[in-house]
C-alpha cells in the first residue's frame, strides 16, 4: 500500500506514467506527483533502504566541511581537540563505521598479507598458518589465506585474486605440479614483497624459509641402518620440488656413507599422494628380494605403508622398518608409533611473517637470503628394531 508523502492519503493514489524509467504516481486528493523511491521510508510495512553513515552525514550534523571530519577522524594535528572530540562523539551517535578499504587504497596499502598453501588435509600447513597469524595480527595486519589444492591452475588463479585484492605481501608454498613460476615473477616485477617457504624454487628471487631436508633425511636413513636394516627403499616426492631433491640426496648420502648398495629399483620418486605411495610400496613388498625398511617422503605415505604391511601380515618393526617425515598428528597413534622427522612448523610461519613485515615496511632484507631451520628425529616403534635411537 502506497501513501502520499504530502497528505498521507492511501486511498486516492493513481499511477501516472513513467519518469526517467521510474513509475510515477499522483495523489488525486492533493494532486501531488511523486515516484516510489520518495515513499520507500514512508510506506507502512516497507523495509527502508539501508544507509551507512558517511563523513558527509557527520559533517552535515555538525555544520563543518567533509575534509574537517576526515582530518579529525584520522588525527591530523591541524584539528583542534574540541573539534576532534565533537566529530568523534557524532560518529558514535550516528554509528559511523569507517570505510577501511577506501582509506587503505588512498594510502596505497591494505594492511593485508596473502598466504597460499597447497593443502589443509594434514597438520603441517595449518600449524604454519597459526605461527604466521600470531606475528601478523600483533603487527596490525590481516592475513588472507587461500588453498591451491595441489593444483597449478588453482595456484595461478589464487595469485591473480591476491593481486586484485591489493595485498601488501605474499607468503607462498607451491604445489606439487608447479614448474612454471611466471605468476610469481609478476609479484617481483610489481614490487610486491614475497616470501617462499617449505616448497620453494630457485627460479624465483625472494627470501626463502625451509628446513634442513638433506640432513633430516640423512639422519632418518642412518637411524634405520643403526637399527640393523640393510635393504632400505625410498619413496620420494616429485623431483620438481627442492624438498624432494634434498630428501633423496640425504637418503643416498647416508646409504653411501655406511657402504649400503643403492638398488635403483628401491628408489621411487614422483609420489604425489598416499594412495600412490601404497601402490608402489605394494610392488616393492611383492619383490622376491624385498626391502626390509622404507623411508617415505612424508607421514601420510608412511602411514599407508604401515597399514599395507599390516594387511600383508608383515611385522613392524621386526620385518619392516618405516620412517616418515613431518610428524603428522596421527603419527603417535598409528601402530606402535611412526618414527618421523619433526619440523618447527609454527617457527616457519613466524619467520616468514617477520620477514614479510620487514620487506613491507622497507627494512633491509637480502632477497637471496635463505633461512634453514633445524628438525628433530622422533623415534617411535616403527623402526626401533634393535632398541637403538
DSSP characters for 165-212? TT-SEEEE---TT----HHHHHHHHHT--EEEESS--TTS-S-EEEE-
Q: What is the pLDDT of residue 13?
A: 78
Q: What is the pLDDT of residue 1?
A: 63
Regarding the domain delimited by 213-344, which CATH topology (the fold level of the hierarchy) does it fall under?
Answer: Rossmann fold (3.40.50)
Domains 55-98 and 213-344 share a fold: no
Q: What is the pLDDT of residue 14?
A: 76
Q: What is the pLDDT of residue 280?
A: 97
Q: List the one residue out of 344, 348, 346, 362 whose CA is nearest residue 169.
A: 362
Cβ neighbours for 337, distance < 8 A, ≥ 6 positions apart: 331, 380, 381, 382
Regarding the domain delimited by 108-211, which CATH topology (the fold level of the hierarchy) does it fall under?
Answer: Rossmann fold (3.40.50)
Q: What is the pLDDT of residue 40?
A: 47
Residue-range domain boundaries for the chain: 1-50, 55-98, 108-211, 213-344
Q: What is the pLDDT of residue 51?
A: 61
For domain 55-98, the CATH superfamily is: lambda repressor-like DNA-binding domains (1.10.260.40)
Q: What are the C-alpha distances in Å from 314 to residues 183, 276, 277, 307, 373?
A: 47, 20, 17, 10, 36
389 residues of the chain, pLDDT tens digit each: 677 777 777 777 777 666 656 677 778 777 777 776 544 444 444 444 456 778 888 888 888 888 888 888 877 888 888 898 888 888 888 888 766 555 555 555 688 999 999 999 888 999 999 999 999 999 999 999 999 999 999 999 999 999 988 899 999 999 999 999 999 999 988 889 999 999 999 999 999 999 999 999 999 999 999 999 999 999 999 999 999 999 999 999 999 999 999 999 999 999 999 999 999 999 999 999 999 999 999 999 999 999 999 999 999 999 999 999 999 989 999 999 999 999 999 999 999 999 999 999 877 788 899 999 999 999 999 999 876 55
Whether the Cβ atoms of residue 185 and residue 202 lie closer than 8 Å to each other: no
Whether the Cβ atoms of residue 206 and residue 195 lie closer than 8 Å to each other: yes
The alpha carbons of the chain give a radius of gyration, in whole angstroms, of 32
Q: What is the pLDDT of residue 3?
A: 75
Report the distance separating Cα 187 and Cα 44, nearest Å. 54
Report the distance separating Cα 264 and Cα 283, nearest Å. 14
Amino acid at each position: 500500500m502506497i501513501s502520499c508523502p504530502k497528505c498521507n492519503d492511501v486511498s486516492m493514489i493513481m499511477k501516472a506514467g513513467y519518469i526517467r524509467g521510474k513509475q510515477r504516481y499522483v495523489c488525486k486528493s492533493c494532486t501531488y506527483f511523486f515516484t516510489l523511491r520518495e515513499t520507500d521510508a514512508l510506506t507502512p510495512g516497507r523495509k527502508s533502504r539501508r544507509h551507512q553513515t558517511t563523513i558527509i552525514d557527520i559533517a552535515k550534523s555538525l555544520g563543518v566541511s567533509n575534509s574537517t571530519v576526515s582530518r579529525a577522524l584520522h588525527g591530523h594535528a591541524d584539528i583542534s581537540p574540541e573539534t576532534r572530540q565533537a566529530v568523534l562523539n557524532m560518529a558514535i551517535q550516528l554509528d559511523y563505521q569507517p570505510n577501511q578499504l577506501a582509506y587503505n587504497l588512498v594510502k596505497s596499502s591494505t594492511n593485508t598479507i596473502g598466504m597460499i598453501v597447497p593443502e589443509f588435509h594434514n597438520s603441517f600447513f595449518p600449524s604454519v598458518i597459526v605461527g604466521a597469524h600470531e606475528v601478523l595480527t600483533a603487527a596490525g595486519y590481516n592475513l588472507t589465506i587461500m588453498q591451491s589444492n595441489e593444483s597449478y591452475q588453482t595456484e595461478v588463479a589464487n595469485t591473480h585474486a591476491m593481486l586484485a585484492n591489493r595485498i601488501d605481501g605474499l607468503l607462498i608454498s607451491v604445489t606439487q605440479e608447479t614448474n612454471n613460476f611466471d605468476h610469481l615473477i609478476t609479484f617481483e616485477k610489481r614490487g610486491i614483497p614475497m616470501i617462499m617457504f617449505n616448497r620453494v624454487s630457485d627460479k624465483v628471487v625472494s627470501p626463502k624459509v625451509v628446513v634442513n631436508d638433506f640432513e633430516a633425511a640423512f639422519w632418518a636413513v642412518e637411524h634405520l641402518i643403526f637399527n640393523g636394516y640393510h635393504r632400505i627403499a625410498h619413496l620420494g616426492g616429485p623431483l620438481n620440488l627442492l624438498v624432494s631433491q634434498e630428501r633423496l640426496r640425504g637418503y643416498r648420502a647416508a646409504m653411501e656413507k655406511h657402504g649400503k648398495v643403492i638398488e635403483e629399483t628401491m628408489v621411487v620418486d614422483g609420489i604425489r599422494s598416499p594412495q600412490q605411495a601404497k601402490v608402489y610400496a605394494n610392488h616393492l613388498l611383492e619383490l622376491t628380494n624385498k626391502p626390509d625398511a622404507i623411508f617415505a617422503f612424508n607421514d601420510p605415505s608412511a602411514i599407508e605403508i604401515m597399514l599395507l604391511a599390516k594387511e600383508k601380515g608383515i611385522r613392524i618393526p621386526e620385518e619392516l622398518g618405516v620412517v616418515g617425515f613431518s610428524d603428522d598428528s596421527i603419527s603417535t597413534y598409528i601402530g606402535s608409533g611412526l618414527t618421523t622427522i619433526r619440523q618447527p612448523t609454527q617457527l616457519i610461519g613466524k619467520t616468514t611473517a617477520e620477514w614479510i613485515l620487514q620487506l613491507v615496511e622497507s627494512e633491509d632484507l637480502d632477497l637471496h637470503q635463505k633461512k634453514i631451520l633445524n628438525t628433530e628425529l622422533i623415534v617411535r616403534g616403527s623402526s626401533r628394531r634393535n632398541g637403538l635411537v
